[in-house]
Amino acid sequence: IPFILGWIIGVFIRVNRLFLVGIINYELYALASILGYIMGKEFNIKLIIDGGKDALLSILITVIGDVIIGALLFLMHVAPINVSLVISLASGWYSYVGPLVALEVNPYLGTLAFLINFLREQLTYVFVPLLLRLRFEPKSAIAVGGATAMDTTLPLYVETLGKEYAITAMITGFLLTFAIPIILPLLL
């Protein structure tokens, strides 16, 4: 509903794009600060080290999967290879990749990038419990969420995997969220 409402408002009201990007940035800063506070209450150096090791493997799984999906998008003639990779390597960060692709390529592919990554986040809630019932490795389950593992899907990981994997999910999501704004513009 918020997406459709925003779409309708966008048809009738023109707002400076830099203003919108600024609002998105401040929202993300606030979200990251709140999550940092929550995780800081559970601070334990051993947990951080173990979570960091697992997070690196989870990131590797995420990137390999994203590249495969990007290649499939290209082979299905959805977008040129660079745009297909940008869409898939966003790792679920729809609020970043949608506007980026819309501004740099075109609104149609920006909307598609937004929707594909939004769907990834939503399907994470469906597939993670299923994968865990099928005895998949927790690091693989965290890879499904990608960048969302540190924010919107973090409660899912805490509930399904326990607190010991919360740090792994946080580090995975944080490192992907840090790298995505650096790497994606280079591909466009």
Each residue's pLDDT tens digit, 62-78: 999 999 999 999 999 99
In a domain, 18, yes or no: no
Asked if residue 69 is part of any domain, the answer here is yes
What is the residue range of 61's domain? 45-187
Residue 15 lies in a domain: no
For residues 95 and 84, the answer to whether their CB atoms sit within 8 Å is no
Tell me if 51 is assigned to some domain: yes
Total domain count for the chain?
1
Six-digit token pair at 171? 């580090």
Confidence of residue 32 (pLDDT cuts 50, 70, 90): low
Determine, yes or no, domain membership for 114. Answer: yes
pTM of structure: 0.75
